[in-house]
Amino acid sequence: MQLGTRKALDKAFSGLGIVSILLLVTALVVILGPIFVRGSRAFVFRGTVEYRRLMFEKYHRGRQESLESEMAEAARARQPVYDMIAAFEEELKGMSFAQRRRWRDSLDELKDLLRRLLGPFPGRKRPVVIREQYGETRWDRAQVTVHDVLFVESYDYSDATKMGTLVYAPRVEEFRGTSIEPLFSYVETHAREMLRPRRTFYWRFLFDESLDAHMFGGIWPEMLGTIYLAVGAMLFAVPLGVISAMYLAEYAGEGRAVSLLRTFISTLAGVPSIVFGLFGLAFFINTVHVSSSKSVLAGSLTLAVLILPTIIRASEEAIRAVPNTYREAALSLGASRLRTTLTVVLPAALPGVLTGIVISMGRAAGETAPIIFTAAVSVGRPLKVWQTLTQPTPALPWNICNLATEHAAQEEIVHVQYGMVLTLILVVLFLNVVAVALRARLSKKLKG
Amino acid sequence: MIGVSIHNSVTDRSSNTALEDNGPFETHIRAEAFSVLYGSSEAVKQVTCEIPAGQVTAIIGPSGCGKSTLLRAVNRMNDLIPGCSTRGRLLLDGENVYGPRIDVVELRRRVGMVFQKPNPFPKSVFDNVAYGPRLHGNHGRRRLHEIVERSLTRAALWDEVKDRLSDNALRLSGGQQQRLCIARALAVDPDVLLMDEPTSALDPRATTRIEDLIRELRGRYTIMIVTHNMQQAARVSDYTGFLYEGELVEFDVTKHLFTKPRQKQTEDYITGRFG
């Protein structure tokens, strides 16, 4: 081949490499960027006075005097709204039954919306459900509710050839000519005074229990559950995996049975995780009865089975890569095979083994399917260590799925969902960074 | 346990007899029609010879002639190779190394080995030397320190590393690493030291230091050294065996073998006609 052609090919090849890496980075940014932005809204947002009231009443945070003065300010701003409603209700009393019926439904809807925005009306009994005890705690949600107050959603079907189009009709039209008419412009202009949004950094999102099924509060039970499950899986999978790898690499030799075993392990690594989930239910819970129903223990065992092949393969590779000269040196000094493996081979293979372990820990933390049937529930309290033997737990991956698909007020808690996604990504990312750092450190130590 | 009496009969092993003194010797290792087979192919064929105690015996020969195999047969390192078997007898202090009652761990403690490439463990200098003693039950700090110092001194490395005992051994130079490996082998107090081309990965200066060291160790240990380098064999050894295609062609006092070889093949090899 000509020198020129060869050089051109070389360049083309390295160019291709750079392009593919750039593509990868772009994809990562495109995928992770929005998640970071949206997830951060669980931590950083504009909290309203309702948020501060919630924090004070439910978590005992904040100062009572400042909260009370702020509440008083907000109440002053809200008073005209309640006055106007009271006046309108007075007005209704003077009307005929038919007229009253005309307004009743519209007024009830308006009052519901205002309750959602500002919390229960003053002087009423405190509602039982926590989400009804408070108005909008977040300014971004409050703006949506204000919009709902001001506009009625309806569909325009005038063009029969097309699907209906969504139109927002001003709600004020329904009440045109009544004493409540000015309420709408008042809400529009005085929303800030009524709710007093302020920049809030809610880092305790990570460490708070949630209230009323994630309507308020944080994700600590989910985080803790994820940690329990991942650590539990490690407790079972690491000793088993490393010992298996040691056996395969150092003792098993190259027989047909052994190569068949290796094929099995590789195949196991490729089995869909939902299969492991069902296996965990059928085997650990229904057959072995490690717990009477879902539990962290059963989930950990299932995850351990899932990541075992990965750990075995990574560890075996690492052990095989240890130069034979180390083994020879130890054996020539009179070390037994086991002793050689434990004191020389395994330490030298440690960077690779640990990398495999930490990466599969990330996998265990992020898997959803294996824990659906074996460990996960949608709402729960943080467990004590001994409770993990018998009790199920919420966990990040499962609750992300659950909030997205099954939660009644799914739209109102999108920020919680994204917060969970972000947290999970950060946990896995953190584990991977730990793996890289650990590997670098140990390799440096081994290389001197 | 094994052949202690013969051990003791070796007269004054520490005395450094001159290289010229090649009178009748105490036999330390004896091969009797000893063969090593890989599967069905014979790597070492019916070798019979006697390795003198406290002296340096070189084994030379072209690549692939089986000299490393013969060396590794002495401490049974060949056991690790699947399909490797032996015939005949190989006696260490009168006891068959391949006999049924031999304890391989004890055998390897008595027969130290230094490899072609320096292979210190990726541990500290101290831990490298202390590895063997710890293996055999020495755990006291002071005792270990004594052993480490003595071994490193014997390997002519103590002065260079005494201030960096906790450094990683892989930071030493190649020559230092090889001397560390020798110290590590000496630390378990062996009788025999096997050296498998110990200088082939080293530069000339480091090689000279190792050769000096071998001369210093002579008398205290029975040394078997495999080498490619005939000058080296001539410089350091008392006896030399020439191995060709698995057969021991000639075994004699080094001086005689290199000046008046009895076999044509030996002469051809040492004069550089082949190999």
Q: pLDDT tier at A156 (50, 70, 90 boundaries)?
A: confident
Q: Does B73 touch chain A (CB under 8 A)?
A: no
pLDDT in tens, A74-108: 999 999 999 999 999 988 888 888 888 888 888 99
- Please give the ipTM for the structure prediction: 0.85
CATH code, domain with B33: 3.40.50.300
Structural domain contains residue B1: no
Side-chain half-sphere exposure of A425, counting CA atoms within 13 A: 17
A244 shares a domain with A145: no
Quick one: average pLDDT of B150-179?
91
Quick one: average pLDDT of A376-386?
90
pLDDT in tens, A161-180: 888 888 898 999 888 888 88
Structural domain contains residue A37: no
Q: Does B81 touch chain A (CB under 8 A)?
A: no
A185 shares a domain with A121: yes
Quick one: average pLDDT of A371-385?
91
pLDDT in tens, A233-291: 999 999 999 999 999 998 887 889 999 999 999 999 889 999 999 999 999 999 999 99
| pLDDT value, residue B4 | 37
What is the C-alpha separation between A88 and B257, in angstroms, rounded? 125
Residue A27 has pLDDT above 60, yes or no: yes
Q: What pTM was computed for the model?
A: 0.83
Structural domain contains residue B250: yes
Count of domains observed in chain A: 2
Structural domain contains residue A381: yes
Smallest CA–CA separation between A230 and chain B, in Å?
Answer: 32
A231 shares a domain with A165: no
For every residue of chain B, DSSP letters joined together read --SHHHHHHSTTTTS---TT---S--EEEEEEEEEEEETTEEEEEEEEEEEETTSEEEEE-STTSSHHHHHHHHTTGGGGSTTEEEEEEEEETTEETTSTT--HHHHHHHEEEE-SS----SSBHHHHHHHHHHHTT---HHHHHHHHHHHHHHTT-HHHHTT-TTSBGGGS-HHHHHHHHHHHHHTT--SEEEEESTTTTS-HHHHHHHHHHHHHHBTTBEEEEE-S-HHHHHHH-SEEEEEETTEEEEEEEHHHHHHS-SSHHHHHHHTTS--
Structural domain contains residue B6: no
Contact (Cβ atoms closer than 8 angstroms) between residue B240 and residue B257:
yes
A389 shares a domain with A248: yes
Among A141, A138, A222, A209, smallest CA distance to A401 is for A222
A225 shares a domain with A190: no
- B-contacting residues in A 321-340 (Cβ below 8 Å): 323, 325-336, 339
| pLDDT value, residue B20 | 47
Residue B185 has pLDDT above 90, yes or no: yes
State the best of B76, B134, B135 to mutate against chain A, taking most chain A CBs within 10 Å.
B135
Q: pLDDT tier at A418 (50, 70, 90 boundaries)?
A: very high
Give A-chain residues touching B119 at CB under 8 angstroms: 323, 325-326, 328-329
Structural domain contains residue A204: no
A257 shares a domain with A139: no
Structural domain contains residue B143: yes
Residue B14 has pLDDT above 50, yes or no: no
Structural domain contains residue A207: no
Count of domains observed in chain B: 1
Q: 3-state secondary structure string, B149-210?
A: HHHHHHCCCHHHHCCCCCCEHHHCCHHHHHHHHHHHHHCCCCCEEEEECCCCCCCHHHHHHH
Residue B204 has pLDDT above 70, yes or no: yes
> Are residues A326 and B117, on separate chains, in Cβ contact within 8 Å?
no
Structural domain contains residue B123: yes
Smallest Cβ distance to A333: which of B135, B167, B171?
A: B135
Structural domain contains residue A19: no
Structural domain contains residue B13: no
Structural domain containing residue A342: 220-447
> Are residues B122 and A347, on separate chains, in Cβ contact within 8 Å?
yes
A233 shares a domain with A159: no
Structural domain containing residue B192: 21-270
Between A296-320 and A273-280, two packed helices, what is the crossing angle to 10 degrees?
130
pLDDT in tens, A278-320: 999 999 999 999 999 999 999 999 999 999 999 999 999 999 9
A124 shares a domain with A189: yes
Q: pLDDT tier at A13 (50, 70, 90 boundaries)?
A: very high
A319 shares a domain with A410: yes
A279 shares a domain with A168: no
Structural domain contains residue B202: yes
Q: Does B53 touch chain A (CB under 8 A)?
A: no
A131 shares a domain with A54: yes
Structural domain contains residue A323: yes
The rounded mean pLDDT for chain B is 86
Smallest Cβ distance to B108: which of A325, A331, A446?
A: A331
| pLDDT value, residue B21 | 52
Structural domain contains residue B65: yes
CATH code, domain with A258: 1.10.3720.10
A430 shares a domain with A292: yes
Smallest CA–CA separation between A332 and chain B, in Å?
Answer: 6
| pLDDT value, residue B22 | 58
- DSSP element (H, E) containing A47: strand A44-47
Structural domain contains residue A31: no
Q: Does B135 touch chain A (CB under 8 A)?
A: yes
Residue A34 has pLDDT above 70, yes or no: yes
Task: Tally A–B CB contacts below 8 A.
Answer: 75
Give B-chain residues touching A447 at CB under 8 angstroms: 122, 168, 170
Structural domain contains residue A391: yes
Residue A445 has pLDDT above 50, yes or no: yes
pLDDT in tens, B15-65: 344 444 556 678 889 999 999 999 888 899 999 999 999 999 999 988 888
Residue of B nearest to A443 (CA): B122
